[in-house]
């Protein structure tokens, strides 16, 4: 793969006494959506948190656009062009939707064209601009979390299970929105348990198990091979669809 | 995502939820009304109410920094009282230097002396706060027990340093001429200094509220109290923000020290640690990390202390603790608990 955007080589991460990541090797090419799959507890969220600098790797190398970022403070990683949408969405419930967006606009003023595009992508952002984010529904909070991540152009967005706990109609809408986002220059690294969403969006896929990447390849290949799904995931992915 | 794909609908708060949120705002007026009924003499009630508001607002000034520091970084600072004491002594020193101004009958000269004393106190305690955070607090982030131990240690060191610089005895602080004595309002005797303290406290509260609600730094503080990790993920250095908040909180404690010193007209090295009991009660009643809760808690403590001192002096000693117990039985996390991200 020529000149990937992000590479993890032999990354180990401990949380307290627990050895969560045990030598993760991951390559995220430029552009498109790379999906990270795996069972609960496989280390997917920890991988994203380690990339974002929220957890310090105990060993290994993380390179973003050729630059070493492993162990770099989180704000510096963010300013390098990586946005993060955590599993709990990280929405500030005491702040209004507008204030949440304002904090994400680190350059100060909003880019009017970009803001209009985001409001068209996620209509609740415009509708509830003045409302406290804590009063939004789960789906609306998820939209705010993604909208906040893209309010300024980012080179890489890490999104952790955007479909978690959402109604099917919202998941479909979110898939469509991420599909539109995929058409921009932004690269997305998506952690997802919903295989339908993952296969609809993903270009490449890495499967994790026990803190390691056990498979990396094209999403289309995994989507079309039930046997491979069964072998890699330990259960039929059909049940997730 | 088109409009037709998802029809935006807001989860409306129920009437019960709205009432639950507004209920704490009614506590201070209800307490004042209960005080009026129990005291039965409007003039005495007015005197005690102004005294209670003055006391409450001074405690609020001291407590506000402590509660935000806890909310933002989970730091329990038992050394906060050191800034109160140091502020009071620095303020006393400046007022002593400006004795010509404080004894001058011109109001403007008196106020200028007090404001210079306040500015000097805030500057010294702000810088002291910076050093305290870097040397004492920073090495023990995330370790509550160690925080309690080292910040208590810092408090003891500060008290001993006050003994070294100003001596071990209590010092009398004379109020400037125009802040001495009382005025009569509706037959009630009201000390001029208490009115001054109420004015300063209200201006500070409104200023603080404006900063927290309408500026980017305020937004960052509110966001950081809820989810510091996410603030960092958006590209902001929360440690730097915390340092600024710690300095401002220390400076406010210094300001509170000057105000309290002038209120009591006596200052001691341990006045800060003595006041910490009330300050912690206020912070706990309000909900750790909440400025609004801290404000309401301070007013409740100030009013109740003054009413009970008049109505039943023996009970007054335990009344504020009983108030805290009552509030915690109603709302175990305080009046306005801060929602922390999990």
Per-residue pLDDT at A218: 93
Kindly list the residues from chain B whose CB atom is less than 8 angstroms away from the CB atom of residue A139: 6
Q: What is the ipTM of this complex?
A: 0.91
Q: What are B191-229's pLDDT values in tens digits?
A: 999 999 999 999 999 999 899 888 999 999 989 888 999
* Interchain pair B9, A104: CB under 8 A: no
pLDDT band at B142 (very low <50, low <70, confident <90, very high): confident
Q: What is the mean pLDDT of residues B101-118?
A: 93
Query: Can you tell me the mean pLDDT for B325-336?
Result: 93
Q: In 3D, which of A219, A162, A208, A158 has the Cα closest to residue A39?
A: A208
- Whether B39 shows a pLDDT value over 90: the answer reads yes
| CA A169 – CA B7 distance, rounded (Å) | 11
Structure tokens at B251: 């400076």
Across the interface, of B219, B225, B233, the residue whose CB is closest to A99 is: B219
Confidence check: pLDDT of B7 > 70: no
pLDDT confidence band for B17 (50 / 70 / 90): confident
The torsion angle over the Cα atoms of residues A222, A223, A225 and A226, rounded to 10 degrees, is: 110
Helix (H) or strand (E) segment spanning residue B249: helix B238-264
In chain A, what is the greatest distance between 2 CA atoms, to the nearest angstrom?
Answer: 51
Q: For residue A107, what pLDDT is reported?
A: 83
- Mean pLDDT value of segment B244-256: 94
Q: Do B235 and A123 touch (CB under 8 A)?
A: no
Of B10, B216, B233, the CB nearest to A74: B233
What chain B holds in terms of domains, given with CATH numbers, is: 41-169+184-330 (1.10.3470)
Cα B250 from Cα B83, distance rounded (Å) = 6
Provide the percentage of residues in chain A whose pLDDT is more than 90.
68
Query: Does position A234 have pLDDT exceeding 90, yes or no?
Result: no
Domains of chain A: 6-240 (3.40.50.300)
CA distance A38 to chain B (A): 22
- Quick check: A176 and B1 CB within 8 A? yes
B316 CB burial (10 A radius; 0-12, 13-18, 19+): middle
Instruction: Identify residues of A whose CB sits under 8 angstroms from chain B CBs.
Output: 52, 54, 73-75, 78-79, 83-84, 86, 88, 90, 92-95, 99, 102-104, 106, 120-124, 127-128, 131, 134-137, 139-140, 143, 148, 169-170, 172-174, 176-177, 180
Q: Spell out which residues of chain A touch residue B1, defining contact as CB-CB under 8 Å.
A: 120-123, 143, 173-174, 176-177, 180
Write down the pLDDT at residue B3: 41
Contact at CB, B223 and A90, closer than 8 angstroms:
no
pLDDT, tens digit (0-9, with 9 covering 90-100), for B76-105: 889 999 999 999 999 999 999 999 999 988
Six-digit token string for B185: 């309002």
What percent of chain B lies above the pLDDT cut of 70? 95
| Closest residue in chain B to residue A125, using alpha carbons only | B8
pLDDT digits (tens, 9 = 90+) for A37-82: 988 889 999 999 999 999 999 999 999 999 999 889 999 999 999 9
User: In this complex, do A136 and B227 lie within 8 Å of one another by their Cβ atoms?
Assistant: no
> Are B236 and A106 an interchain contact pair (Cβ–Cβ within 8 Å)?
yes
- Is residue B319 pLDDT above 70, yes or no? yes
The answer to whether the Cβ–Cβ distance between A52 and B341 falls below 8 Å is no
First-last CA distance in chain B: 29
Burial (0-12, 13-18, 19+ Cβ within 10 Å), B230: buried
Instruction: Tell me the per-residue pLDDT of A101-133, one tens digit each, with 9 for 90 and over.
Output: 999 998 878 889 999 999 998 999 999 999 999
pLDDT band for position B258 (50/70/90)?
very high
User: Interface of chain B against chain A, CB under 8 Å?
Assistant: 1-3, 5-6, 8-11, 13, 216, 219-220, 222-223, 225-227, 229-238, 338-339, 341-342
As a whole number, the mean pLDDT across chain B is 91
Looking at every residue in chain A, the average pLDDT score rounds to 90
């Amino acid at each position: 793969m020529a000149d990937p955007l992000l590479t993890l080589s032999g990354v180990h991460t401990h949380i307290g006494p627990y050895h969560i990541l045990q030598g993760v090797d991951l390559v995220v090419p430029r552009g498109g959506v790379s999906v990270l799959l795996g069972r609960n507890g496989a280390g997917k969220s920890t991988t994203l948190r380690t990339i974002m600098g929220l957890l310090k790797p105990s060993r290994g190398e993380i390179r973003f656009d050729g630059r070493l970022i492993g162990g770099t403070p989180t704000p510096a990683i963010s300013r390098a062009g990586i946005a993060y949408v955590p599993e709990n969405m990280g929405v500030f419930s005491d702040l209004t939707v507008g204030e949440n967006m304002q904090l994400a606009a680190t350059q100060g003023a909003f880019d009017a064209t970009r803001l209009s595009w985001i409001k068209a992508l996620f209509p609740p952002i415009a509708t509830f601009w003045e409302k406290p984010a804590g009063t939004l529904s789960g789906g609306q909070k998820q939209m705010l979390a993604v909208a906040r991540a893209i309010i300024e152009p980012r080179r890489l967005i890490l999104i952790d299970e955007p479909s978690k706990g959402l109604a099917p109609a919202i998941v479909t809408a979110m898939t469509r929105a991420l599909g539109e986002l995929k058409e921009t220059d932004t690269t997305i690294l998506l952690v997802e348990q919903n295989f339908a969403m993952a296969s609809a969006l993903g270009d490449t896929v890495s499967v994790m198990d026990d803190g390691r990447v056990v498979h990396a390849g094209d999403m289309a290949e995994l989507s079309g091979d039930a046997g491979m799904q069964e072998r890699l995931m330990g259960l039929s992915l059909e049940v997730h669809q | 995502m088109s409009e037709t794909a998802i029809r935006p609908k807001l989860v409306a708060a129920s009437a019960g939820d709205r009432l639950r949120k507004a209920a704490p705002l009614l506590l201070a007026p209800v307490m004042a009304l209960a005080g009026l009924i129990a005291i039965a003499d409007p003039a005495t009630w007015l005197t005690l109410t102004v005294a209670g508001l003055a006391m409450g607002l001074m405690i609020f000034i001291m407590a506000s920094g402590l509660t935000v520091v806890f909310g933002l970084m989970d730091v329990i600072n038992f050394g906060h009282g050191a800034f109160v004491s140091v502020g009071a002594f620095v303020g006393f020193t400046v007022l002593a230097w400006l004795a010509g101004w404080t004894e001058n009958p011109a109001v403007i000269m008196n106020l200028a002396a007090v404001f210079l004393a306040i500015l000097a106190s805030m500057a010294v305690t702000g810088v002291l706060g910076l050093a305290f955070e870097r040397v004492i607090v920073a090495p023990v982030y995330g370790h509550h027990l160690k925080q309690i131990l080292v910040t208590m240690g810092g408090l003891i060191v500060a008290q001993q340093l006050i003994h070294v610089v100003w001596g071990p005895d209590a010092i009398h602080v004379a109020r400037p001429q125009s802040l001495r004595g009382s005025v009569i309002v509706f037959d009630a005797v009201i000390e001029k200094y208490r009115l001054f303290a109420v004015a300063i406290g209200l201006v500070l509260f409104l200023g603080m509220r404006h900063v927290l609600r309408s500026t980017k730094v305020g937004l960052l503080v509110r966001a950081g109290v809820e989810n510091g990790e996410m603030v960092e993920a958006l590209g902001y250095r929360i440690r730097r923000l915390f340092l600024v908040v710690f300095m401002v909180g220390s400076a406010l404690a210094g300001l509170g020290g000057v105000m309290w010193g002038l209120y009591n007209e006596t200052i001691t090295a341990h006045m800060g640690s003595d006041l910490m009991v009330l300050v912690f009660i206020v912070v706990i009643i309000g909900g750790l990390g909440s400025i609004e809760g801290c404000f309401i808690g301070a007013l409740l403590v100030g009013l109740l202390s003054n009413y009970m001192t008049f109505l039943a002096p023996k009970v007054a000693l335990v009344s504020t603790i009983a108030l805290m117990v009552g509030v915690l039985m109603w709302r175990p996390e305080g009046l306005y608990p801060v929602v922390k991200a999990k």
